[in-house]
Amino acid sequence: MDAAALVPCTIHINGDSRTCAITPATTLLEALRYELRLTGSKQGCDKGDCGACTVLVDGVPTLSCLTLALACDGRAVTTVEGLAEKGVPHPLQDAFDRTGGAQCGFCTPGMLMSAYALLQRESAPSRDEISHALSGNLCRCTGYTKILDAVELAAAELRERAK
């Protein structure tokens, strides 16, 4: 495939199948933000250190700034825009709001996606497990305590709903 040629790339994003025309040198983050106008995933360090661009690829937390968009052709991607259902925030989003887990908010989409993946596989994670699952997401505002509180609160809410 030519370097400069635009090629179609179809990604199943948040349940929708979306196609964009990109060059091979396009990251998943660039495709999401600049082609598909999904600006929830943030462009922080852009080299894999900060976690602000974390999305789920086939359910697995992945750094979209280091993922080539064409490698996701035909795969399922979940971004922070996919968490709310019918305009109602996901319990994690609600919990970040209630605990003050989001301050400037720049790290929040990545935090939410890492936390969402954790709660998908573990309904009652320990404080250590939460902290480990979020260890690839940097926050410069909160000191992390409120974020850990938020994930605990959301986990409790989700367990309550499942009863």
Partner 1 sequence: MLTLPVFAWSRPKTVDEAMRVLAASPGECLIVAGGTDAVPNLKHRLHEPKRLVHLGGIEELRGIRVTDAGLEVGALVTLTELAAHPYVREHYAGVADAAEHVASPQIRNMGTVGGNLCLDTRCTYYNQTFFWREALGFCLKKDGTRCHVVPQGKRCVAAHSSDVAPVWIALGAQVEIATPGADGASGAVTRRLLPVEAFFVGDGVHNNVLVPGELVTRVLVPASSLGVRTAYRKLRPRAAIDFPMLSVAVAARGDASRIEALRVVVSALGAKPRTLGGLDAIAVGKPHDAALAEAVGAVAFKQCHPLSNVPYDTDWRHDMVPVFVKRAAPGALGVDA
**By the criterion CB under 8 A, which residues form the site for partner 1?**
1-4, 7, 23-27, 43, 46-49, 51, 54, 60-63, 65-68, 70-71, 114, 132-133, 135-137
In angstroms, the CA 63 to CA 61 distance is 7
Residue with Cβ nearer partner 1 (25 or 97)? 25
Given the complex with partner 1, which of 2 and 160 has the nearer CB atom? Answer: 2
CB nearer to partner 1: pick between 23 and 94: 23
CB of 75 to partner 1, least distance (A): 10
CB of 87 to partner 1, least distance (A): 28
Assess contact for 33 and 52: CB atoms under 8 A: no
Q: What minimum distance in Å lies between the beta carbon of 21 and partner 1?
A: 14
**Closer CB to partner 1, residue 49 or residue 97?**
49
Distance of CA 28 to the CA centre of its chain: 12
For the bound state, the minimum distance from the C-beta of residue 123 to partner 1, rounded and expressed in Å, comes to 18
